[in-house]
Amino acid sequence: MSLLSTAIHAVQQAQKACINVQKTLITSVSKEDRSPVTVADFAAQSIVSMILQEYNADISLVGEEDAQLLRENEELKQKVCAVVAHVMPEKTENEILTAIDRGTHEGGSKGTFWVLDPIDGTKGFLRKQQYAIALGLVENGEVTLGILGCPNLPRDLNEPNIDIGSLFFATKGGGSFRWIASGKSTPIYVSQEPFRFCESVEKAHSSHSRAQKIADIVGITDPPIRMDSQCKYALVAQGQAAAYLRLTKGGYVEKIWDHAAGAIIITEAGGMVTDLHGKPLDFSKGRKLSSNKGIIASSGGELHQELVQAYTQTDS
């Protein structure tokens, strides 16, 4: 199995665990209980980490989680181990925790490492809406591979109840694809039709009012698509939205796992991803995009430059 095939398999196995958690641990009476997404977070990171380690233990992992909380909370640990066991029944408790702890790598400009967000879009996960398992590979500070597993994303937003569940992947210079079945995939490409943009559901993550001002300036008249997680990157990459705006507030600094996979999937589909000032995203600075502020992702060309210029013309 190739590195790409192994990575796709890892994300698919994590998806199985997350779908199981959504079906069994989230109930109408527990909407304020965040424990299901915590279980899924840890389980997904452990599963992906173990599969990738079996392929090549020399490639480090930058992950969102470590296992300290599980070592302090027996009930939570047992729930995580039970979820992992549905997918990888041969693994021991120690192997599961050790795999989670592999995610403490600091990243940087040298060497090769994986970047994982085991559950991107925690609130979407709890709402049983959109979330993603996002896996990227960084080589000497550059993202060279990305996979987005989007279990609740339909193939076409206009047919939300048909063909639900999507997986996207891209490699540097190899294009972007939507996975269909083993050995079968279809290429995806950006488009300016439909001419609309997407943004985060939560106002705390991005300024909705400023995004609307930017849309007005560039002539986007359709209402925005508000969606959790890096699924927004997938929408732009497959031509279902022309742009994704993440207008961060204050001094917030983005984490690399929130953007590595999505960014390469858009660029390999023919689009462009920069920060709000038009600077390329710099994944060489460690676990954060400390040289960048916010995100503008688009179908590229003149539209991207217009979006960057519109950002500078507006205020928060």
Instruction: Tell me which residues are annotated as active site.
Output: 41, 122
Question: In the chain, what is the straight-line distance between the N-terminal and C-terminal CA atoms, in Å?
Answer: 49
Could you tell me if 242 and 272 are in contact, meaning their C-beta atoms sit under 8 angstroms apart? no
Sheet harboring 272-274: ordered strands across? 225-226, 197-199, 243-246, 295-298, 272-274
